[in-house]
Structure 1
Amino acid sequence: MDWDGIQEKLQILSDAAKYDVSCSSSGSRRANQKGGIGNAACSGICHTWSSDGRCVSLLKILMTNYCIYDCAYCVNRCSRETKRAMLTPEEIADITIQFYRRNYIEGLFLSSGVYQSPDTTTELLIRTARLLRDVYHFNGYIHMKGIPGTDERLIRELGQYVDRLSVNIELPSSAGLRLLAPQKTKQSILLPMRAVRAGIAERQEERKKSRKVPAFVPAGQTTQLIIGATPDSDRTILRLSESLYRHVSLKRVYYSAYVPMLHGPGLPELRTPPLLREHRLYQADWLLRFYQFTADEILSDDMPDFDLHLDPKACWALRHPEVFPIEINRASYHMLLRVPGIGVQSARRICAARRQAWLSYDSLRRLGIVLKRAKYFITCRGRYYGGHTGQGEIRRHLLQDEGRSRYEEVDLFSGGTI
């Protein structure tokens, strides 16, 4: 193998892949094969950080940045002058194994531009995955991209070999697609998503009868939405995410702030990426998945976009003064989740602890409650500890707390402290 040529290709294709954030590997439990190499156990493989805090790595590249599509927001669009490269399935498989044996990586994330056609691109991805699994007996984590418009049969075949598939929607509305990615349609994107969902459901039924049946996309499917490239509201984006979680059984929606690197018709004039808006969407997404909120509760027709100064859960609480304060010793688990400063784990601890005895205010901190936020929305044994404060004063205190610790609202490993 010409390693000088390969190194140049890797440099081009790894740089071209850096804007794809839907690259998480947690959740796979692919069984090891005798005589194979690698391990896709969830404790050993995940993107950037493992569940026990270790930093791990994936080889994250495109198979090719040649693309027949001309999406206005994409650095790899066909009309853009840029260096192009392509790795063959044999080269990718060999690189992955070489890097794994040198302990550079623990898995592979492989995306691609649309080369010749969606089906042709997917056939090359299948060949790559088959080489790794059947020839090299690689048991490690493999995440590949489902190409919009691909035939369902090919998606089903690819799903036999990989741990996770992601089909990127990119733009949250049909109007946005027509404006910036006219060669893509809502139907062409949803088709492979539905094929993955159906394949997972069918294989789960088969595995109930026999555990020897191999898993199909065991780590599930994800997608990515670009934030700020179109005028779509935060509510439109959040409602789409909610629908995908319900109807396509997505594992995760990733949000990527639009990076204003390119210029063209329809693209917004932004100085910097809308990173804080991206952060608010992740917080709201967490509320959808773990805190029993709906998209229409978080945002409404009257307020279609996030308050960038305050997190979505605190905003909801301030909009509903008729609900608060709630009595910590009597409130349901559902209502506890709606109190700012109480996370999933702390809500469970409260429900468990109060079966033994009524909780005192001093005991709440030991249960993981962030009292500097929660005290304005709760009573304990009938007593209110938030002081003589109105809604405006409570908001001011919450804003001060937000300014001190903007990125500490969600603790991904302990259940959260939104």
Structure 2
Amino acid sequence: MEDRLREKLTILADAAKYDVSCASSGSNRKNDGKGIGDTGSGICHTYTEDGRCVSLLKILLTNYCIYDCAFCVSRVSNDIKRAAFTVEEVVALTMNFYRRNYIEGLFLSSGIFKNADYTMERMLRIVKKLRLEENFHGYIHLKTIPGASEEMVTEAGLYADRMSINLEMPTEAGLKLLAPDKSHAEVKRELGIIRAKSVQFEDERKLIKSVPRFVPAGQSTQMVVGATAETDRDVMHMANQYYKAFSLKRVYYSGYIPISHDNRMPIIGTPPPLIRENRLYQTDWLIRLYGFAVDEIFTEVYQNLDLDIDPKLSWALRNLHVFPVDINAADYQLILRVPGIGIRSAQKIVAARRFGKIRIHQLKKIGISYNKAQHFIRCLDTPVQFNEPDAQRLKRIILRTSQSKYANNQFQQLRLF
């Protein structure tokens, strides 16, 4: 690799690291044996929904940008080294890295230079060259450019596996404060285009088998959290609206990293705790997969998630009247709400009790987190407890048990050395 291309790769791969929305789950693009690469197998690592690790070449087409978003390292006012790939360079890099077994796909985003269509046209040329000229069947995640024409967005969807556009801030007010040149309306417009075209192509495929697939892995978006004053409740309400309106595969939550001295940004000495990201993702799963509503998890008083316990446990401690849950009689949805019981464990419990009453040792064998769940369930041989449960006392017990278990695991690991 020549020195100038290596320098570009260093600059533009580093600039791309702030975009976390690069999971590659959900695509079913197949190689017919005549092309190169295959989406089905599982230099950035991401994970599919079934846990497979997938390596992607994650780069920006350019870090030049006409916008001055206060939270972005590539903003026009930032004094950084700039670079831009040509269309041919991105294609060559992707193919060379793939042939060396370094990657399984491409994640391509970009700053905006000149205007949205000028940038989007170059990104479209890249994916078309990869698919049509290089016969590349690996995974491609393409970030769409806010304000790009409907025609280009639609055409790009025929070649990309997943497309996404960043919402940036959870609220319009926060976006106007930090990125006044952008708007949520542009994001909604492009998400709406992809959603409508996906439905159209899917309907046509029911009648005509030769209709091409359109964004088979769906679309996603990303929000920066911690740069403005939105609560976790605000963040999750916005995410839930976008899930429903645009059938998103994922919403990604990126903790604000202080990279600017702009006086619009919050005055903080250190980044927001990464655990906040984790709690938001856990809440996201509760809403998408566990049947929780946003207004069940949050209230007017409780608008931010606990950082020391997960959101399901937090909800349970605030709703002790729901418990204990009788494992041998409760329905599946109620069992799902027990802290320490996941989806697979709940399914196993429902299946197992058809053959008889479930006891404690069977629950442990199923694989639930019994140390946590035991305070919220009853089964055939659960000891009778006479004390009325107290939320703060239960929280202390669970935290103490978790810390003790962690310390014991650390000790056992040290003994191996």
Common topology (TM > 0.5): yes
Asked if 2 retains the 8 angstrom alpha-carbon contact of 1:45 and 1:141, the reply is no
Q: Aligned ranges for residues 240-319 of structure 1 at < 5 Å?
A: 240-274=238-272, 275-319=274-318
Asked if 1 retains the 8 angstrom alpha-carbon contact of 2:42 and 2:53, the reply is no
Q: Equivalent residue for 2:156?
A: 158
The partner residue of 1:115 within 113, 116, 124 is 113
Structure 2 unaligned segments of length 5 or more: list them. 407-417
Specify whether residues 48 and 194 from structure 1 end up closer, same or farther in structure 2 by C-alpha distance, changes over 3 A only.
Answer: same
Distance 1:133 1:386 in 2: 64
Q: Equivalent residue for 2:194?
A: 196
Q: Equivalent residue for 2:215?
A: 217
Q: Equivalent residue for 2:204?
A: 206
Match of 1:57, SS state, is strand
Asked if 1 retains the 8 angstrom alpha-carbon contact of 2:325 and 2:377, the reply is yes
Specify whether residues 93 and 353 from structure 1 end up closer, same or farther in structure 2 by C-alpha distance, changes over 3 A only.
Answer: same
Specify whether residues 347 and 55 from structure 1 end up closer, same or farther in structure 2 by C-alpha distance, changes over 3 A only.
Answer: closer
Q: Equivalent residue for 2:412?
A: none
Specify whether residues 252 and 99 from structure 1 end up closer, same or farther in structure 2 by C-alpha distance, changes over 3 A only.
Answer: same
Distance 1:207 1:405 in 2: 53
Q: Equivalent residue for 2:370?
A: 371
How much does 1:318 deviate? 0.6
Please tell me the residue identity of whatever aligns with 1:280.
Answer: R
Please tell me the residue identity of whatever aligns with 1:391.
Answer: A
Q: Equivalent residue for 2:16?
A: 17
Per the normalisation by structure 1, the TM-score is 0.92
How much does 1:243 deviate? 1.0
Distance 1:46 1:196 in 2: 26
Match of 1:123, SS state, is helix
Asked if 1 retains the 8 angstrom alpha-carbon contact of 2:43 and 2:58, the reply is no
The partner residue of 1:92 within 86, 90, 93 is 90
How much does 1:114 deviate? 1.0
Q: Aligned ranges for residues 144-155 of structure 1 at < 5 Å?
A: 144-155=142-153
How much does 1:50 deviate? 5.8
The partner residue of 2:234 within 207, 211, 236 is 236
Asked if 2 retains the 8 angstrom alpha-carbon contact of 1:327 and 1:382, the reply is no
> Deviations for 1:252-275, whole angstroms, at most 9, x for unmatched residues?
111111011211021012222221
Q: Equivalent residue for 1:414?
A: none
Asked if 2 retains the 8 angstrom alpha-carbon contact of 1:33 and 1:137, the reply is no
Match of 1:209, SS state, is coil
Distance 2:171 2:160 in 1: 29
How much does 1:385 deviate? 6.3
Q: Equivalent residue for 1:61?
A: 59
Specify whether residues 18 and 46 from structure 1 end up closer, same or farther in structure 2 by C-alpha distance, changes over 3 A only.
Answer: closer
How much does 1:281 deviate? 0.3
Specify whether residues 51 and 264 from structure 1 end up closer, same or farther in structure 2 by C-alpha distance, changes over 3 A only.
Answer: closer
Distance 1:122 1:404 in 2: 53
Q: Equivalent residue for 1:411?
A: none
Specify whether residues 69 and 387 from structure 1 end up closer, same or farther in structure 2 by C-alpha distance, changes over 3 A only.
Answer: farther
Q: Equivalent residue for 2:395?
A: 395
> Deviations for 1:201-254, whole angstroms, at most 9, x for unmatched residues?
111112222333221011111111111000000000001111111111000111
Distance 2:405 2:25 in 1: 27
Asked if 2 retains the 8 angstrom alpha-carbon contact of 1:24 and 1:46, the reply is no
How much does 1:382 deviate? 7.8
How much does 1:399 deviate? 2.2
Specify whether residues 405 and 270 from structure 1 end up closer, same or farther in structure 2 by C-alpha distance, changes over 3 A only.
Answer: farther
Asked if 1 retains the 8 angstrom alpha-carbon contact of 2:312 and 2:337, the reply is yes
Distance 1:376 1:361 in 2: 12
Q: Equivalent residue for 2:409?
A: none
Distance 2:67 2:386 in 1: 59
Per the normalisation by structure 2, the TM-score is 0.92
The partner residue of 2:224 within 226, 230, 236 is 226
The partner residue of 1:172 within 170, 173, 180 is 170
Return the structure number with greater helix share.
2
Please tell me the residue identity of whatever aligns with 2:323.
Answer: F
> Deviations for 1:128-175, whole angstroms, at most 9, x for unmatched residues?
001000011101111110111222221111101000011111100011
Asked if 1 retains the 8 angstrom alpha-carbon contact of 2:24 and 2:46, the reply is no
Match of 1:276, SS state, is helix
Specify whether residues 401 and 293 from structure 1 end up closer, same or farther in structure 2 by C-alpha distance, changes over 3 A only.
Answer: farther
Specify whether residues 194 and 160 from structure 1 end up closer, same or farther in structure 2 by C-alpha distance, changes over 3 A only.
Answer: same
**How many residues are aligned here?**
404
Please tell me the residue identity of whatever aligns with 1:169.
Answer: L
Question: RMSD value over aligned CA atoms?
Answer: 2.0
How much does 1:22 deviate? 0.3
Q: Aligned ranges for residues 319-338 of structure 1 at < 5 Å?
A: 319-338=318-337
Please tell me the residue identity of whatever aligns with 1:289.
Answer: R
Asked if 1 retains the 8 angstrom alpha-carbon contact of 2:140 and 2:161, the reply is yes
Asked if 2 retains the 8 angstrom alpha-carbon contact of 1:109 and 1:144, the reply is yes
Asked if 1 retains the 8 angstrom alpha-carbon contact of 2:359 and 2:381, the reply is no
How much does 1:51 deviate? 6.9
Distance 2:11 2:43 in 1: 25
Distance 2:385 2:93 in 1: 59
How much does 1:310 deviate? 1.3
Please tell me the residue identity of whatever aligns with 1:11.
Answer: T
What is the percentage of aligned positions where both structures have the same residue?
Answer: 50
Distance 1:328 1:197 in 2: 40
Greater Cα shift, 392-401 or 52-61? 52-61
Q: Equivalent residue for 1:183?
A: 181
Asked if 2 retains the 8 angstrom alpha-carbon contact of 1:25 and 1:45, the reply is no
Distance 1:405 1:57 in 2: 33
Distance 1:316 1:50 in 2: 28
Distance 1:183 1:402 in 2: 47
